[in-house]
Chains A and B, each alone.
Chain A
Amino acid sequence: MILERFNLDGKVAIVTGGGTNLGKAMSHALARAGADVVVAGRTRGTIEETTSEVRRMGHRSIAITTDVTDSRQVDDLILRTLNEFKKVDILVNNAGVARGIEPSPRDPIPKEPGPIWEWTDDMWRKGIDTNLTSVFYCCRAVSKHMVERKSGKVINISSAAGLRAARSLLTYCSAKAGVIMFTKTLALTWARYNIQVNCIAPGIFRTPEADPGVVQAQASSIPMGRCGEPHEVGPLAVFLSSEASNYITGECFVIDGARFVGYAPADYAPVIPLED
C-alpha cells in the first residue's frame, strides 16, 4: 500500500541543529514516522529537550553536543551514532545560521552587518563554514558507511536565499547556493550507490522568539499570506527520508508559500485587456 512507503520504522536519523526551530520540527516528524533520532547541536539544553520529546514518542534518541564547523566533532558524532545504533539511514544537515542585524517590522529580512569593507576574513569564513563547510564535513563523515551499505538518504537544508538574493546577506546567500550545488553534485556522485541526496529550501518560517511586528511584515510579502509554521517542513523531511522518494535525487524542494515564485510584489495583479 502506498502509505507504507512513507514509513520510517526502524530507521536511524541524525539531525544537526536539532534543538531548535526547523531542526526540532524535523526531529519530531521523523520520530512520529517511526525513526530513532540522534539530535546534534551546540547547545546541550535544547538538544536534550528534543531528545526527551522523541523518547516520549517511544523512540530511541540521544543528544550529542556538536559544533558542525569542527570536523573532529562531526567525525565523533558519526562514530558515536554508529556505536550506539550500528547504522545511519538518514542524515539531515540542518545546522546553519544567518548572523547579523535582526529583522525589524520596517525591514523584515535579517542582514549581515555592513559595510562590506569592514568585514573581516573571519566573518566571511564563519558564514561559509557554518552553512556550507559543515554540510561537507557531515557528508564526508558518513560517506564510507553509506556507500558500503549501498543505502542512505541525505537531506541538506538550504534556503530560498540560496536561489534568490537578499540585500546585505552575502555570505548566507552564497553559502546556501553552495549547498544546492553541493547537493546536486553529491547526488550524481552517489546515484550508483543507491544513496539519494536532496535539499530543502525553506522560505520564511515563524520562529518562536520572532517579534510579532516582524512576522506580520513578512507575512504580507508572502502570496499565501502567512509565514510557514516549523511543523510544516516535517512531512517533507519524512518524504525525502522514506522509500517513497527512492527515484528522487539531486533535487531542491522549495517550501515557501510561493514567496519566491513571483515576478512582482505579491499583491500586484495588473489587468490589461487585449486590444482589437
Chain B
Amino acid sequence: MILEEFKLKGNVAILSGHGQSWLTHLSAALAQAGANVVVTGPGKEDLENAAGEVRRLGRNVLAIPLHSNSSREIDAVTGQVIDQFGRVDILVNSHNLRFGKPFLEVSEEEWRRVLEANLISVARSCKAIGQQMVKQRSGTIINIVSGAGERGLPNGVAYCSSMGGVIQLTRALAMEWARENVRVNAVGIGWMGNGIQEGAKDPILSYIPARRRGEPEDITSLVVFLASQASSYVTGHVYYVDGGVMARG
C-alpha cells in the first residue's frame, strides 16, 4: 500500500536546471507521483523529451526554454506558471556545471562562471519562484547538490565552493522561510553513473561502499519524498543518496 503522504496529486512542480542528464527521469517521477510539471532549461531536446514523458502519463506540462537564465527570464517563468496553473508547490533546482582545474590556474572569469551557474542561478530561481510560495504560505524547494559541497576534491576548489554555497543557501533560506511554511532542503548526490565508458576501469567504484554508481532512479524517490507531505517537518537539511560515501572515511 502506498501512504497518501507520498502522493503529489494536483501539485505543480517546477524543474529548473542545466547540465543534468536526469531531467526526463525527474519529470517522469514527479508526474507519476501525481504532479503537473513545468520543465525549464537550456536544452530544447531535453525539454521536449521531458515534456513528452509527462504528457504520456496524463499530467499537464509546460516546457519553457531558458536562454540566459537571467532574473528577467526566471520572473517570466513564474508569471507563465501562475497564469497556467494558478499556483506552484514544488521547485527542484538541479544546476551542475562541472569544472576541475588546479587552483592556481583558475581565472576570475572561470570562478565567476562556476559560481554563476551553480550557485547564483539557484538563488535566482529560489527568489523568483519562492516569492510565490511565500505569498501562498506553502511550498517546498529541493536543491540537488553534489557531495563535493561538503567534502574537498583536488582541482575542485571552485566547484566545491559553488556546491557548498548551495548547501548554505539551503540552510539559511530554510531558517528564513520556516514560519512562511516554505520548506527548503537539499538532496546530496554521490558519484553518478554518467561519463564512464563501458569496460573502462572506474577509479571511483571501490570508494563507494555500495560498489555501484548512482542511477537517476536512486535520486528521484528521495526528491518525491522531500517534495511531498511525507516530509512535512523536514526543513533546512541535506539528505544524501550516495551509496554510503558520506559515511566513510
Interface of A toward B, CB cutoff 8 Å: 1-9, 29, 32-34, 183-184, 187-188, 191-192, 203, 222-225, 228-229, 232-236, 238-239, 244-251, 253-258, 261-262, 266, 269
Interchain CB contact under 8 A, A223 and B3: no
Question: Nearest chain-B residue to A239 (Cβ)?
Answer: B225
Q: Is B237 an interface residue (CB 8 A)?
A: yes
What distance in Å separates the Cβ of B140 from its nearest Cβ neighbour in chain A? 13
What distance in Å separates the Cβ of A271 from its nearest Cβ neighbour in chain B? 12
Q: Which residues of A lie under 8 Å from residue B209 when comparing CB positions?
A: 187-188, 191-192, 249-250
B161-212 CB contacts (< 8 Å) to partner A: 171, 174-176, 178-179, 190, 209-211
Interface of B toward A, CB cutoff 8 Å: 1-3, 5-7, 28-29, 32-33, 171, 174-176, 178-179, 190, 209-211, 214-215, 218, 220-222, 224-225, 228-237, 239-244, 246-248
11 A-B pairs besides A7-B2, A236-B234, A247-B215 with CB distance below 8 A are: A3-B2, A7-B1, A183-B247, A184-B247, A192-B209, A223-B235, A224-B178, A235-B229, A249-B210, A255-B231, A261-B175
Question: Nearest chain-A residue to B247 (Cβ)?
Answer: A250
Interchain CB contact under 8 A, A258 and B241: no
Which residue of A233, A250, A253 contacts B239 across the interface (Cβ within 8 Å)? A253
Interchain CB contact under 8 A, B247 and A248: no
Q: Which residues of B lie under 8 Å from residue A244 when comparing CB positions?
A: 221-222, 224-225
A244 to B1, CA, bound (A): 14
Interchain CB contact under 8 A, A2 and B224: yes
A7 to B233, CA, bound (A): 21
Interchain CB contact under 8 A, A247 and B1: no
A269 to B175, CA, bound (A): 10
- Evaluate whether A235 and B231 lie within 8 angstroms (CB atoms) in the complex, with A6-B221, A191-B243, A247-B214 already known: yes
Interchain CB contact under 8 A, A33 and B2: yes
Q: Which residues of A lie under 8 Å from residue B6 when comparing CB positions?
A: 3, 6, 235
What distance in Å separates the Cβ of A33 from its nearest Cβ neighbour in chain B? 5
Interchain CB contact under 8 A, A258 and B240: no
